[in-house]
Amino acid sequence: MSATAEGHRKTYVPGMGHDRLLPLYDPLCRLLGMAKVHRPLVDQAGIRPGQRVLEIGCGTGNLALLVKRLHPDAEVVGVEPDPKALARARKKSERRALSIQLDRGFAEQLPYPDGSFDRVLSAFMFHHLRPNEKEATLREVRRVLKPGGSLHLLDFGGAKVSSDGFMARLSHRNKLLRDNFGDRIPTLMREAGLTDPTEVNHRVRRVLGRVTYYRAVVPLAESDSTQPGEGPRKEVRGQTP
Ligand SMILES: C[S@@+](CC[C@H](N)C(=O)[O-])C[C@H]1O[C@@H](n2cnc3c(N)ncnc32)[C@H](O)[C@@H]1O
């Protein structure tokens, strides 16, 4: 299902695939132990005090709030097209007294200036995008990252292994999800001008199936850039929690 953002003509696929199912999103995340899946992404980002961190597709704010809790001296911003998810994120941030900036917007049209973030995080958002939106999103991530900044992305992706579980098998049948698998994500990262796209790790969860952690960086100087045609580097350490 696609929803249309008010005041925008663009459509997006909401968190649970349908607006009416959004109240189930957080209970489902708790049931699936999503905090344990988010945590390695935050650790991989190596966030330092004073850094500006953006989460694209922040939904109800679970990852952005985790970042703020673990790194209270970082400036945390979440961007999300779904006003209902944003309203839930705002309530949670007030309730937990964790101050984060929450903005309405699309990952493929980020409402921020060039070079304004040290880190960009993305969790389970990429499979909501069509192929052209994925390309545009990664170009936008490249644009808003500072030199030396990095993208840390978590999603269904990587190798297709039928034993990986229910969601993995389902995902191979779904067109948007299927487009995440194989080397697709690192390849798109490289094409968007991000350097050293790496599959950092993956985990196999009983229900979620295979979830993969990726990282890519913006070179400090243009000469550090990956050469065209250079393949993505793979550094895989699988874990079954
Ligand atoms: C499965 S939820 C993940 C939410 C959050 N990142 C988390 O890990 O809990 C995916 C989110 O991506 C958002 N989304 C869909 N299309 C988007 C787009 N074009 N730009 C940014 N976010 C988008 C959805 O509205 C939804 O809130």
pLDDT tens per residue across all 241 residues of the chain: 456 655 556 889 888 888 889 999 999 999 999 999 999 999 999 999 999 999 999 999 999 999 999 999 999 999 999 999 999 999 999 999 999 999 999 999 999 999 999 999 999 999 999 999 999 999 999 999 999 999 999 998 777 655 556 665 665 556 666 777 788 999 999 999 999 999 999 988 877 788 999 999 999 875 555 443 344 444 434 443 3
Of 2.130.10.10, 2.30.130.10, 3.40.50.150, 3.90.1010.20, the CATH number of 3-239 is 3.40.50.150
**Residue owning the nearest CA to atom 16 of ligand 1:** 12
Q: Is 58 in the pocket of ligand 1 (CB under 6 A)?
A: yes
Q: For the chain, which residues make up each domain, given as ranges?
A: 3-239
Interacting residues of 133 by C-beta distance below 8 A, sequence separation 6+: 107, 108
**Residue owning the nearest CA to atom 8 of ligand 1:** 123
Q: Is 164 in the pocket of ligand 1 (CB under 6 A)?
A: no
Indicate the SS3 state at residue 226: coil
What are residue 53's phi and psi, to 5 degrees? -120, 130
**Residue owning the nearest CA to atom 13 of ligand 1:** 57
What are residue 155's phi and psi, to 5 degrees? -165, 175
Q: Is 156 in the pocket of ligand 1 (CB under 6 A)?
A: no
Q: Which of 12, 4, 6, 9 is nearest to 127 (CA)?
A: 12
- C-alpha 161/C-alpha 212 separation (Å) is 13
Name the residue of 32, 82, 109, 125 to mutate for ligand 1: max ligand atoms within 8 A of Cβ.
Answer: 125
Q: Which residues of 132-159 are buried (b: 16+ CB within 10 A; e: fewer)?
A: ebbebbbbbbbbbbbeebbbbbbbbbbb
Q: Is 57 in the pocket of ligand 1 (CB under 6 A)?
A: yes
